Structure 1
Amino acid sequence: MDSDFIERIQRITLTLEEEQPIMVRAVHREKILEEYFLSLIGKFLTTRPLNLKAAKNLLRSVWKLGSDLKIVDVGDGLLQFKFSLESQLRWVWDNGPWSFDNNILALQRWEKGLTTRMVSFTSLLMWVQVWGLSFDLINEEAGLDIGRGIGFVVKVDCRALASDQAHFLRI
């Protein structure tokens, strides 16, 4: 940019009328916040175009929510998943990770004041299967140790340990 243009931009000032704050009424805000509280913000981690209509239909089907789930494109490749019940949101959150067409869906819980520019996916919960361990290492303590070597451990799945199918550890 030329210096003359920059100088003109720097001299721009607001009129007294333009400086007045704009008041936004809080009508129905509590109901809106309650609706948003039952939301997850998600993004498919991909660089190629995605058939969003097919992805939305598949997620509604896999999550068994049908029209109970509202999926809104909020810009910047972000989707807002609006649930009717906390139990539905919790189930989706706890049973991921989710994907469509080999593209992982990163999710984050909605928070009051969140904007599209603030959304950041810095971690992703996923199950890891560890195969080929000696029998004495197929236990919760070994799972915690192995998991901590990989990252942050949320849970070691002990159901497989209690069944007749303890071929691997799920962390």
Structure 2
Amino acid sequence: MDLDVIERIHHITLTSEEDQPIPVRAVHREKILEEYSLSLIGKFLSTRPVNLKAAKNILRSEWKLGSDLKIIDVGNGLLQFKFTLESQLQWVWDNGPWSFDNNILALQRWEKGLTVRTVVFKSLPMWVQVWGLPFDLINEEAGLDIGRGLGSVVEVDCRALASD
């Protein structure tokens, strides 16, 4: 496209008739919103292309959902994971982080009004192991302090500290 065409495109204006809002009927919108409410939006954090067909098969298998899980490519590298039950969605959310082929899958809960352009992944839950701590710092309080130094703490796993 030459610069003259680009310049003309930038100067396009709408007439008063064209500048009117277009009404959109909300037919079945409540049902659709309910269906979308059981969705996660995800993106593989990768610098190279991801084999989406293989990734979808692996995730369905790991999450033990099979055909109950609908995975839709919504564009811009984003996937929509549509669940049948809230408990399925919550299990996936609580048991991450998830990855495929060494590419981490960032997830966000779907919200009304969300678009491909407005999806922002602000945080990613990670398990962090700290090795070589002095014995007197191997406790829940130290784990909380270390976790807070890295970000938000979801949980400190103290099972390794429990004695038989």
Quote the Cα distance in structure 1 between the aligned partners of 2:144 and 2:37. 32
Where 2:130 maps in the other structure, the secondary structure is strand
Q: How many residues align?
A: 162
- Give the aligned residue type for 1:75: G
Per-residue CA deviations over 1:77-113 (Å, capped at 9, x if unaligned) read: 0000001111111111111110000000000111100
- Give the aligned residue type for 1:37: S
Over 3 Å off, 4+ runs: 4-9
How many Å apart are 1:163 and its aligned residue? 5.4
Gap change, CA 1:6 and 1:87, over 3 Å in 2: same
% identical aligned pairs = 79
- Give the aligned residue type for 1:52: L
Which residue is equivalent to 2:111? 111
In structure 1, the gaps of 5 or more residues are 165-171
Q: TM-score scaled to structure 2, two decimals? A: 0.90
How many Å apart are 1:121 and its aligned residue? 1.4
Say whether residues 1:45 and 2:45 are aligned partners: yes
How many Å apart are 1:8 and its aligned residue? 7.6
Which residue is equivalent to 1:168? none
Gap change, CA 1:117 and 1:163, over 3 Å in 2: farther
How many Å apart are 1:158 and its aligned residue? 2.4
Which residue is equivalent to 2:11? 10
Q: TM-score scaled to structure 1, two decimals? A: 0.86
In structure 2, the gaps of 5 or more residues are none
How many Å apart are 1:15 and its aligned residue? 5.4
RMSD over aligned CA atoms reads 1.9
Gap change, CA 1:135 and 1:99, over 3 Å in 2: same
- Give the aligned residue type for 2:140: E
Matches within 5 A, 1:147-158: 147-158=147-158
Say whether residues 1:22 and 2:22 are aligned partners: yes
Where 2:89 maps in the other structure, the secondary structure is helix
Say whether residues 1:144 and 2:144 are aligned partners: yes
